[in-house]
Amino acid sequence: MDWRKRCGGKLVSAEVAVLSVRDGDMVVVPVGSDPKTVMTALLGRAPDLNDVRLRLYNGLNDLPWFEPDISSHIMPEVWFIVGPYVREQMQQRRGDTAIGACTLSTKGARDNRPDVRRPDVLLIELSPPDERGLCSFGPVRWDKKELAEFARVVIGEVNPSFIRTRGDNDIHVSEVDFLVEMAVPPTPFRKSISEELARKDVDALKAIAAHVAPLIRDRDTVLMGAGSTIEALPLFGMFDGRRDLGWHTERMPRGAIAMMRDHPERFTGKYKSLDRGKHVMTLLALTDDDTELANMHPDIELHSVHYVNDIRVIAAQENLVAIMNALAIDLTGQVASEHIGTRLHAGPGGQPEIAVGATLAKNGRSVMVLESTAQGGKVSRIAPQFEAGTVVTVTRAFVDYVVTEYGVASLLGKSARQRAEALIGIAHPKFRDELTREAKRLFWP
């Protein structure tokens, strides 16, 4: 049967769907959704609307939300994933920044807090409804179902390429108010791995992978965050020789499913404390080669970010190793992954929750990864102090291991002086003298 006949009369044009947006509404576009057909129609309505907030969890979209004639009617808020266009606009302070942990995205609505904005209109991508009327959220579950529960209006743009998965990764068509056929393709999420590697220091990535590998043990549960640096590490042998690992991860990196197929002994999930035998995540990053393998994979489940990134759930996974990407770190161990100075790079994602949960877990390890320099080697990512305006994403109290291409610094249990010495030891050699001088100024009489 043609899926259009399963829509229960909810299939409308994008222009009709966005008529449901009212003055003063909070419109939310969650992680893993770029319903560009619907968003283009909303853009066309901007002159007729006032005091609307557009919360972009997925800031890859290149539509002109930040132009004054649009933002004076619909103010964009950026949260997690930030593309080049959005980053440039935010550098000019032409939009607002949403702040909050992944697992708290619907707390205000759930607790009936009158002082916290709740989502009014949710714009998402969905698969066509199946014979049961279920629409898949595709390769990214995140908090879509929770947002749909509290939104006044749910508008789904039908993406026929969306995969289906096991777990809790669908919504019934009866819970969607409008369905719109996709006419404008979404913005590509990322370049190919090979394109990204062409911009990276491959020798540094190989060295980082070699340093991280000994921190991963057989039978561990693995959690990985976002970031092009850590995503490349499995390609350079980070998991080589390991057996019976399991996934409980915010994001499964591209190429991981093919690796699981080619090395079935490597990831079995047999020794996980929770969800034993299943690989659990909230975001499944895919290459073209992965997509067919991922569709209804028997061992992969997508669940809410409110479950996957819950500090209590992470801490309950014994032998968990969390690997995350940092932009910079200061000599006391504070991690910055959002802003450097006033320059926005990304939102916090789940990093604050993951770092705490992994450190609290029995035999848990939290690993922060970063290349030692930025801007072509001109700047050390290990800094004596952060410049004004830098946002601390993970407090120093919950920073455990830090890895660069020059080695591993173990910070747990160390004093300020000991941390400074350990971090200087993994900085780029050309910055070590300067960092040592600054450390003596900051931590010694």
Q: What is the pLDDT of residue 41?
A: 98
Considering 154, 181, 208, which residue would you say is the last residue of a domain? Answer: 181
Confidence of residue 191 (pLDDT cuts 50, 70, 90): low
| Domain membership flag for residue 244 | yes
Tokens of 405: 């291409």
Considering 125, 150, 181, which residue would you say is the last residue of a domain? Answer: 181
Cβ partners under 8 Å of residue 394, min gap 6: 326, 334, 335, 337, 351, 352, 355, 368
Tell me what the mean pLDDT of segment 273-300 comes to: 94
User: Residue 11 phi/psi, 5° resolution?
Assistant: -80, 115
CATH number of the domain within which 21 lies: 3.40.1080.10
Percentage of the chain exceeding pLDDT 70: 98
The sign of the torsion formed by the CA atoms of 118, 122, 127, 133 equals: positive
Q: Is the pLDDT of residue 382 over 90?
A: yes
Considering 181, 210, 237, which residue would you say is the last residue of a domain? Answer: 181
> Residues 110, 144: one domain?
yes
Tell me what the mean pLDDT of segment 245-262 comes to: 95
> Residues 212, 164: one domain?
no
Cβ partners under 8 Å of residue 157, min gap 6: 14, 35, 36, 37, 38, 123, 124, 125, 126, 179, 180, 181, 182
Domain count, the chain: 2
Q: What is the pLDDT of residue 115?
A: 94
Q: How far is CA 60 from CA 68, 143, 317, 415, 435, in A?
A: 19, 18, 33, 40, 36
Q: What is the pLDDT of residue 223?
A: 98
| Domain membership flag for residue 187 | no
| pLDDT tens-digit series, residues 327-371 | 999 999 999 999 899 888 888 989 999 999 999 999 999 999 999
Confidence of residue 114 (pLDDT cuts 50, 70, 90): very high
Q: In the 3-class helix/strand/coil scheme, how is 209-255 assigned residue by residue?
A: HHHHHHHCCCCCEEEECCCHHHHHHHHHCCCCCCCCEEEEEEEECCC
| Domain membership flag for residue 189 | no
Highest mean pLDDT: which range of 86-90, 246-250, 258-262 = 246-250
> Residues 261, 407: one domain?
yes
Least confident of 81-90, 149-158, 298-307, 352-361: 81-90
- Buried b / exposed e over 412-431, threshold 16 CB at 10 Å, is eeeeeeebbbbbbebbbeeb
| Domain membership flag for residue 386 | yes
Give the strand pairing for 407-410 and 401-404: antiparallel
Q: Across all residues in the chain, what is the average pLDDT?
A: 94
284 CB neighbour count, 10 Å cutoff = 27
118 CB neighbour count, 10 Å cutoff = 17
DSSP notation for 365-430: EEEEE--SEETTTTEESEESSPPTTPPPSB-GGG--EEEETTEEEE-TT--HHHHHHHHHTTS-HH
| Domain membership flag for residue 261 | yes
> Residues 136, 165: one domain?
yes
Q: Is the pLDDT of residue 189 over 60?
A: no
| Domain membership flag for residue 29 | yes
> Residues 349, 243: one domain?
yes
| pLDDT tens-digit series, residues 144-178 | 999 999 999 999 999 999 999 999 999 999 999 99
Confidence of residue 28 (pLDDT cuts 50, 70, 90): very high
Q: What is the pLDDT of residue 360?
A: 98
* Residue 67 a catalytic site member: no
Q: What is the pLDDT of residue 46?
A: 98
User: Residue 113 phi/psi, 5° resolution?
Assistant: -80, 115
Q: Is the pLDDT of residue 188 over 70?
A: no
Q: What is the pLDDT of residue 342?
A: 86
> Residues 145, 216: one domain?
no
Model's pTM, two decimal places?
A: 0.95
> Residues 142, 165: one domain?
yes
> Residues 231, 332: one domain?
yes
> Residues 240, 95: one domain?
no
| Domain membership flag for residue 275 | yes
Q: Given the residues 77, 146, 250, 371, select the one marked as catalytic.
A: 250
> Residues 118, 238: one domain?
no
Tell me what the mean pLDDT of segment 284-304 comes to: 93
Q: Which helix H or strand E contains 288, and what residues bound it?
A: helix 288-294
State the residue for tokens 């921190």: 215
- 34 vs 159: CA distance, rounded Å: 10
> Residues 173, 210: one domain?
no
Tell me what the mean pLDDT of segment 15-43 comes to: 96
Percentage of the chain exceeding pLDDT 90: 81
Least confident of 132-136, 228-232, 257-261: 228-232
| Domain membership flag for residue 186 | no
Confidence of residue 86 (pLDDT cuts 50, 70, 90): confident
CATH number of the domain within which 361 lies: 3.40.1080.20
Q: What angle is formed at CA 28 by the lines to CA 25 and CA 33, rounded to 5 degrees? A: 155
> Residues 105, 205: one domain?
no
Structural domain range at position 268: 194-443
Q: What angle is formed at CA 16 by the lines to CA 72 and CA 85, rounded to 5 degrees? A: 40
Confidence of residue 297 (pLDDT cuts 50, 70, 90): very high
Q: What is the pLDDT of residue 62?
A: 83
Q: Is the pLDDT of residue 432 over 80?
A: yes
Q: What is the pLDDT of residue 345?
A: 86
